Amino acid sequence: MRSAILVPMRLLKKLLLGLAALLLLAFGTAFFLVWRQLPTTAVPALVGLSAPVSVDLDDRGLPTIHAQSLDDANRVQGYLTARERLFQMELMRRKADGRLAELVGAGALPLDRLHRIYGFREVAEAAARLLGPAERRSLEAYAAGVNAFIAQRPGHWGLEFQFLGLRPEPWRPEDSLKVLLLMHEDLSTSWKAELQTEALKGLPEPLRHFLEPSIGAGDRPVLPDAHALRPDTAAFLEAAAAPVKVAQDPQVGTWLQAATQLSLPGSETRLASNNWVVAGSRTRSGKPLLANDPHLDLGAPGIWFPLRLEWAGRSAQGVSLPGIPTLVIGHNERMAWGFTNLGTDLQDLYREAPQSWRRELIAVKGKPPVELNVALGRHGPQVLPGLSLHWPALDPRRLSMPLAALMEARNWAEFNVAIDVHPGPPQNMIYADVDGHIGWRASGLVPLRRPGDDGSRIHDGNDPEADWRGFVPAAEMPRVLDPAEGLIGTANNRTVGTGFPHPVTTSWAGMSRAGRILERLEQGGPWTAPGFEALQRDPVSNFHRAFIQALGLLPGFTGAAEPDSLTFTRAELLRRAFRRRLLERLLRGTELKALDYRHPGDELWQLAAAQASPAQWQAAGLGDKAAFVQACLGEAMARPDWNRPWGVVNELRMKHPFGYGGGLLGWLFNPAPRQLPGAARAIRVLTGTHGQSMRMVVDLADLDATRLALPLGQSSHLGDRHRGDQTRAWAEGDPEGKTTKLHQKAVQTLIFRP
């Protein structure tokens, strides 16, 4: 009996030891694969350098490149960016090409179809042939650095390449232009809004303006209005209800349904960033302070690549985009600049017959290729049957990025010269210099349409009068230097008033963020860099506070979107119920019933409706306001999230491309979720996937003390200590600037030789 028991026990021990050995082998293999692809100190000779280039790396892995020329600096920048972000660059290139499905399967087909329709690959290739000598030299130097890393560091490209069995193709100058095209797409996609406007044409005019407002009650444009304007939400609330004229074009409904199948950026993605600047009269140092925090989708890795460049007696530091040389946002030794999206309407749809076709063949992993025939109209590719898209980004003559000129500018005049040749995407650009000047400038292209055409409706492609007449000359683009109040702030709100004679867009965001910024700047001071950094983390939503006060609910609500706040959760659930129920009433008889209606300024009509009197509700045909509000409260209270704190409801979940499906890959590649302050309409913008892609504060009294916080870190490599070492400062703040100071002591030096 005893021997019968011992045999199975021995067998069990052997099995357990074997299993332990297999697990140890698996973990050892995984560790080796992760460790093997981490960057090393080894650097190759870089053919094409005019002189040796040294790179100082600080404790966060952020590089300072010391070079004799900017071209040499660009070459090393390409190598260093590929060293940390090659898979990110590969995905961006493939996304623009419409070649993701061949990597990940049929799930990527909608995105591939869209980019094949746009023809980004053909546009970038044609644009590369038209570049001027200086810009082409910069892109070629950058590409040479990327390719040196690919060729000389196999096995260090990233764990993702090993998982996919993928070898990166050589980087080309046109690939950098594809990255630029993706930014154009993120920041200027608006054609779906024209379908929405078309579907609203059966509504009374006051109601249409109410639902798509371009003028708000609290607007404070940087370039002032020539005369007082009435808010677009006022006429509807003051007018008697008018019957809906159901005169819909049935094709509009078909187009709307087809558009929902395409992967288009949402309105919050297109319009969400903050920047502001104050003059020395409002600072403790007597010199200007400038702040910028662009809001984009948050993923792993982050979108920005910080660095410092020193060349030929010049220096500049800030952030670059992986795949693009030089800096996008930052400062040099004389001036600083920052961006927010201007939101210019640069896309028009034209109803017309196709003139030709382009055949595309999309490879799909594990399946036969998919054939796509792209119709081409007189005004551009047809994004939907019978609708051509006119978009300057698809014109190779207008696709360039002369960022070096901006980085080398020394004063307001040279800054404007650099912006004059910068075709887009259009931005609110703020400026400050060491001499004490501050300014704002609208950049990019503004179309000249026929009088009365604001670009919001579908055009007749057979009508020559519907064609654009060119663009506003660069010298006439709006700008402001040294305003009397000593401050400028923008947050995608209406910045261009009627003092500018040409329509810019009908899709401004409301004043919730911009109003809070200006309110705090005016009330606070004298300002310091720590004060600016704290202001960037302000979680108060003026919109939510005013909205809840207007409804007479949730007494004592301050609008603060703190992670432990039950009250903010309830305020947001009330807003969602209010918005949904009101839209159901207002959109009756339109093709928008099944559409997730979006407009960047929808806070304007929500707040106007909440603040309207019961009599105005009745006159507008909305019925009994008190009963409506009670119904909204009942709906909100029935939601499971009613008793959950805001941090749980609004939890930030940054995802790696491998981690969207969850499971083991999600556990392995996705950063840990975080419960943080912030909301979509607070200065600290934060939703589950969208927020401050970086925060920068520049003190013109001490440029070396520039602060920069990233949601993750410099590296994209799994297992690298720099993959998430900046998260804490980004999440919690860094009042003393210990970990966010951009220019820090070197802990390692690399030497690149010709």
SS (H, E, C) 205-253: HHHHHHHCCCCCCCCCCCECCCCCCCCCCHHHHHCCCCCCCCCCCHHHH
Whether 27 shows a pLDDT value over 80: the answer reads: no
Task: Determine contact, residues 116/360, Cβ cutoff 8 Å.
Answer: yes
Where does the pLDDT of residue 37 fall: very low under 50, low under 70, confident under 90, or very high at 90 and above? Answer: confident
Whether 142 shows a pLDDT value over 80: the answer reads: yes
Who wins on pLDDT, 251 or 474?
A: 474
Distance CA 222, CA 493 (A): 10
Residue ranges per structural domain of the chain: 542-649
pLDDT reported for residue 26: 47
pLDDT tens digits along 318-346 = 999 999 999 999 999 999 999 999 999 99
Q: Which of 31-40, 275-284, 366-375 has the lowest mean pLDDT?
A: 31-40
Average pLDDT of span 296-305: 96
**Backbone CA torsion sign across 158, 164, 170, 175:** negative
Angle at 670 between CA 666 and CA 676, to 5 degrees: 130
My answer on whether omega of the bond before 483 falls inside 30° of 0, hence cis, is no
pLDDT tens digits along 408-429 = 999 999 999 999 988 889 999 9
Length of the chain: 754
pLDDT reported for residue 468: 98
pLDDT reported for residue 267: 47
Question: What is the average pLDDT value for the chain, to the nearest integer?
Answer: 91
Distance CA 69, CA 453 (A): 47
pLDDT reported for residue 311: 97
Ranked by mean pLDDT, the top range of 151-155, 193-197, 454-458 is: 454-458
> DSSP H helical segments within 527-645, as ranges?
529-536, 542-551, 566-586, 602-611, 614-619, 625-637
3-state class (DSSP) for residue 512: helix
Distance CA 500, CA 509 (A): 18
Q: Which of 130-139, 240-249, 552-561 has the lowest mean pLDDT?
A: 240-249
Strands 438-442 and 479-481: antiparallel
Whether 239 shows a pLDDT value over 80: the answer reads: no
3-state class (DSSP) for residue 135: helix
**pTM for this entry:** 0.94
Where does the pLDDT of residue 588 fall: very low under 50, low under 70, confident under 90, or very high at 90 and above? Answer: confident
DSSP state of 448: -
Whether 182 shows a pLDDT value over 90: the answer reads: yes
DSSP state of 749: E
Where does the pLDDT of residue 33 fall: very low under 50, low under 70, confident under 90, or very high at 90 and above? Answer: low
Strands 289-297 and 273-278: antiparallel
Distance CA 274, CA 390 (A): 29
Q: Which of 172-181, 246-255, 464-473, 486-495 has the lowest mean pLDDT?
A: 246-255
pLDDT reported for residue 19: 58
pLDDT tens digits along 717-741 = 999 999 999 999 999 999 889 899 9
DSSP state of 449: P
Distance CA 659, CA 301 (A): 12
Say what the alpha-carbon torsion angle 215, 216, 220, 225 is, to the nearest 10 degrees. 30
Q: What is the DSSP string of 620-679?
A: TT---HHHHHHHHHHHHHTSGGGGS-HHHHT-B--B-GGGTT-HHHHHHHSPPPB--S--
Where does the pLDDT of residue 126 fall: very low under 50, low under 70, confident under 90, or very high at 90 and above? Answer: very high
Share of the chain above pLDDT 90, in %: 79
Beta strands in 34-118 (DSSP E): 53-57, 63-67
Where does the pLDDT of residue 25 fall: very low under 50, low under 70, confident under 90, or very high at 90 and above? Answer: low
